[in-house]
Chains A and B, each alone.
Chain A
Amino acid sequence: MNLPAVAIVGLGATEFSKNSGRSEMQLACEAAHAAVQDSGLTGSDIDGMATFSMDNNWEIEIHRQIGGQELRFFARTEFGGGGALGPFAHAVSAIQTGQCQAAIIYRAMNERSGLRFGSGEIMNMNTLNPDMIHFSHYFPTGFMTPAAWIAMCTRRYMHKYGATSEDFGRIAVSMRDFAASNPAAFFYQQPLTLEQHQQSKLIADPLRLFDCCQESDGAVAFVVTSLERARDLPNTPVEIASVRQCAVPASRQITPFYHADIAHFPEFDALSCDLFRRADTAPNELDFACLYDHFTPAILPQLEAFGFCAPGEAADFVKDGHISRGGKLPVNTNGGQLGEAYIHGLNGIAEVVRQMRGTSANQLERSDQALVTAGAGVPTGAAILRKQA
């Protein structure tokens, strides 16, 4: 089956801040419009819209305002950050099957100045919706922040492999190093030392403050279309060489407690081989990666799941500098969600696009192929992106 290839051709983003001072809808419109302008297309060329849950902007609202005419495809993926690659999977399928020609993928949020996910007020509602029925087994005990949920997995990883808080600290230091030289990052010119990490306060043991991603306001949007059409447009096309989502029977909405072994994220283990096979590539052929970093320890099982090192060896892989500046697999060269901003994963994908266009603040010498992942500890997804001539 030879399906037409699909590529990212437009990129738009607002500034990232702690208080955007405008509505989430305005942020979405600004980023989406910028992405359309960047792509060389016009609003009326956009006939598909895709996003993922916890975005408060309806697809039709954004489509109308950026000058869209008929909307032929719209889709939304569940599971918050775990759904970050869902809209890419949807848009690729829709374009390959001719349901639409060009789609916008977007995420806009005032996650710092509005509802903060880490505040414990994430879903303080009392209705018969599936979220509340699910979270009823956790919220009444005060077990109600993403940090606390993921800390359970981190504890098991430490128990299994002897990883320490310093191992997580080195991940934070590496990303903050990238952030320090990225003017768009909140922590621009503010590198972090391991000592500062170790002295930062406990959030949910063993997670410390500097293990946690930021809370940010901002928006990111992309335009995707067929690679064939992309060749007539101004930007270097970034092909979505493979993308897929994954949940396994014990997967739950960000409460991944029921897998036999929660030291790993079994969804990544399950999808990894297939992802590489369908992109016809291998871990050692990738130049860099954008791994979902809501919390630093989540990086370690991801490095293992995608075969960059053997199970249990990720902490040493990090310690040897492989994910840092100059390493063999630089990870999150924008500073990640720890250092740049927390736009639910999409700002990392934007960095991959910039690297492949040669416009990153931390431009790598070689940036032809990269892995990107969506949220860990949730039903999730991953993709391999490839620079096209």
Chain B
Amino acid sequence: MNTALSDLEQAIEPLRKRYIGQRVGPYLAWNKVSRTQIWQWCAAMGDTHPEYLGGETAIAPPTMLQSWTFRDVHGDYAPGSTDQNTYEVLGKLDELGYFGSVAVSYDQQYLEYLHEGDHVHSFSTISDISALKNTALGTGCFVTELAEYFRQDKTLIGTATITYLKYQPNQTSTGAPPSSPRKIERIRPVENTDSQHYWQGLRDGKLLIQQCSDCDVSRHPPQPMCEACQSINWHTVESTRRGKIYSFTSIHHPEIPPFDSPNCIVLVDLDEGVRIAAQITGVKYDELKIGMPVRANIVEVQKGLSLPIFEVEQ
């Protein structure tokens, strides 16, 4: 049990290194503090305190703190907000199997009142990711977020400390059928009569390049007719999987699960004379260069899907 937990701990450690202490923001309020929103809040809460709406300038109930910089119904923050997602770490924990999520505590601290016309922005910091614990819900860890709320003049008006439990639901205690964590998979290729040989070749551990049986011109991606001589007779040759980088990029944003970020992609001119797009691993994105010699391994990336993945050839 202890060994198992420490293995699991090790998987979380990189998340601690990456996310704890990272301050993300600003997140802007969609609207300035307004009498209308204050009225709606007070009406909904049944709060009739005269100080809020009685005066010339409306004053916001401090408990509205978190509402100002909420995302809209589409999950978007107001224009001008950072594109960084403070909750990215929760998604990473999902991927590790801790997809259960519950907020366990929420503490607010109020420092200043907000008045009509004020424009709020906030910053968010993941302040802690606890050690793994066995809880009644399942094994998981506590993630604590500190949100700081500011007025337009950068005065701190309040803070909120929110703790979430991210856990792998206990299969025995809930009586629910055992379920493995949802895993996001790669999009699978569509295989049709023209391309099925290519994907089957990869499943067989071979990178097959189409070649015209009449004029010997090679082609990739697969197509039914030779564009050089219009022959529909073709066969395949097995590629040596060797070639040189023609161009490259690394995809940093958006992060597209299940891929690593950055995800390095190369266009490779294969020795067989065709160009192919594929991933490359084992090299840092800023060390990629045009002309580098590379060689592909055929990797089964998920059940029934094999792809060529390049490495720099020494």
Residues of A within 8 A of B (CB): 18-19, 113, 118-120, 124, 126-128, 132-134, 136-145, 147-148, 151-153, 155-156, 159, 186, 201-207, 209, 249, 255, 257-258, 262
The reply to whether B189 and A128 form a contact with Cβ atoms under 8 Å apart is: no
- Which residues of A have CB within 8 Å of B275? 257-258
- Neighbour of B256 across the interface among A136, A144, A186, CB < 8 A: A144
1/0 contact string of B218-237 vs chain A (CB within 8 Å): 00010000010000000000
Contact A140/B189 with A133-B195, A152-B247, A262-B247 known, Cβ cut-off 8 Å: yes
Is residue B7 within 8 Å, beta carbon to beta carbon, of the partner chain? no
Contact of A127 among B190, B249, B253 (CB under 8 A): B190
Contact of A18 among B79, B189, B256, B305 (CB under 8 A): B79
Known: A124-B187, A136-B195. A205 touches B285 (CB 8 A): yes
Q: Is the CB of B267 within 8 A of A257?
A: yes
Question: What are 30 contact pairs spanning A and B, CB under 8 A?
Answer: A18-B79, A19-B72, A124-B187, A126-B188, A126-B190, A136-B189, A137-B221, A137-B277, A139-B186, A139-B189, A140-B186, A140-B301, A141-B263, A141-B307, A143-B277, A148-B265, A152-B247, A152-B248, A153-B247, A155-B290, A156-B247, A159-B290, A186-B79, A203-B253, A205-B286, A207-B249, A209-B253, A249-B227, A257-B267, A257-B277
CB-based nearest B residue for A201: B253
B189 touches A143 (CB 8 A): no
Closest 7 CB pairs of A and B: A136-B189, A142-B259, A151-B249, A120-B256, A139-B187, A202-B252, A132-B190
Cα–Cα, bound, A139→B265 (Å): 11
* Cβ–Cβ < 8 Å partners of B191 in chain A: 136
Min distance, Cβ B261 to any Cβ of chain A, angstroms: 9
Complex Cα gap A120–B253 (Å): 10
Does A141 contact B249, Cβ atoms closer than 8 Å?
no
Chain A residue with Cβ nearest B245: A155
CB distance from A160 to the nearest CB of B (A): 10
0/1 string, B248-269, CB within 8 A of A gives 1:
1111111010010011010100
What's the least CB distance linking B281 to chain A, in Å?
A: 11
Near A by CB (< 8 A), chain B positions 180-223 give 186-192, 194-195, 221
In the complex, the answer to whether A205 meets B277 with C-beta atoms within 8 Å is no
The reply to whether A140 and B277 form a contact with Cβ atoms under 8 Å apart is: no
- The distance from the CB of A204 to the nearest CB of chain B, in whole angstroms, is 5
Which single residue of chain B is at the shortest CB-CB distance from A18? Answer: B79
A183 to chain B, nearest CB (A): 16
Is B83 part of the contact surface with A, judged by Cβ < 8 Å? yes
Question: Taking the complex as formed, is B239 at the interface, i.e. its CB lies under 8 A from any CB of chain A?
Answer: no
Note all chain B residues with C-beta closer than 8 A to A143. Answer: 251, 263, 265, 277, 279
Determine the residue in chain A with the shortest Cβ distance to B256. Answer: A120
With an 8 A cutoff between CB atoms, is B76 at the interface?
yes
Q: At the interface, is chain B mostly helix, strand, loop or mixed?
A: loop
The closest CB in chain B to the CB of A129 belongs to B190
Chain B contacts for A155, CB-based, 8 A: 247-249, 290
Chain B residues with a Cβ closer than 8 Å to the other chain, count: 41
Q: Please state if A136 and B190 are interface contacts (CB–CB under 8 Å).
A: yes
Tell me the nearest residue of chain A to B289, going by C-beta: A159
Residue B20 interfacial (CB < 8 Å): no
B250 CB to nearest A CB, Å: 5
Write the residues of chain B forming the contact surface with A, with a CB cutoff of 8 angstroms.
72, 74, 76, 79, 83, 186-192, 194-195, 221, 227, 246-254, 256, 259, 262-263, 265, 267, 275, 277-279, 285-286, 290, 301, 305, 307
Cα separation A223 to B290 with both chains bound (whole Å) = 47
Q: Is the CB of B290 within 8 A of A141?
A: no
- The answer to whether B279 and A142 have CB atoms under 8 Å apart is yes
Residues of B within 8 A of A134 (CB): 221
**Are B267 and A152 closer than 8 Å at their CB atoms?**
yes
Chain A residues closer than 8 Å to B267, beta-carbon distance? 152, 257
A118 touches B254 (CB 8 A): yes
Greatest chain B CB density within 10 A among A118, A148, A205, A249 is at: A205
Chain B, residue nearest A112 (CB): B76
Contact at B263–A142, with CB atoms within 8 Å? Answer: yes
In the assembled complex, which residues on chain B have CB atoms less than 8 Å from the CB atom of A19? 72, 74, 76
Residues of A within 8 A of B250 (CB): 202, 204-205
The interface residues of chain B lying within 8 Å CB-to-CB of A257 are: 247, 267, 275, 277
User: Which residue on A lies nearest to B199, using beta carbons?
Assistant: A136
Q: Give every chain A residue within 8 A of B195 (Cβ-Cβ).
A: 133, 136
Give the residue of A203, A204, A255 whose beta carbon is less than 8 angstroms from that of B277: A255
Q: How far is the CA of A143 from the CA of B268 in the complex (A)?
A: 14
Q: How far is the CB of B305 from chain A (nearest CB, A)?
A: 6
B121 to chain A, nearest CB (A): 16
Which residues of B sit under 8 angstroms from A142, Cβ to Cβ? 186, 251, 256, 259, 263, 265, 279
A118 to B191, CA, bound (A): 25
Closest to A118 in B: B254
Query: CB-CB < 8 A to A137: which residues of B?
Result: 189, 221, 277
Minimum CB distance partner of B221 in chain A: A137
Cβ–Cβ < 8 Å partners of A133 in chain B = 190, 192, 194-195
The answer to whether A145 and B251 touch across the interface, beta carbons within 8 angstroms, is yes
How distant is B87 from chain A, measured CB to nearest CB, in Å? 17
Q: How far is the CB of A100 from chain B (nearest CB, A)?
A: 36
Which of A159, A203, A249 sits near B252, CB closer than 8 Å? A203
* Chain A positions within 8 Å of B305 at CB level: 140
- Chain A residues in 8 Å Cβ range of B221: 134, 137
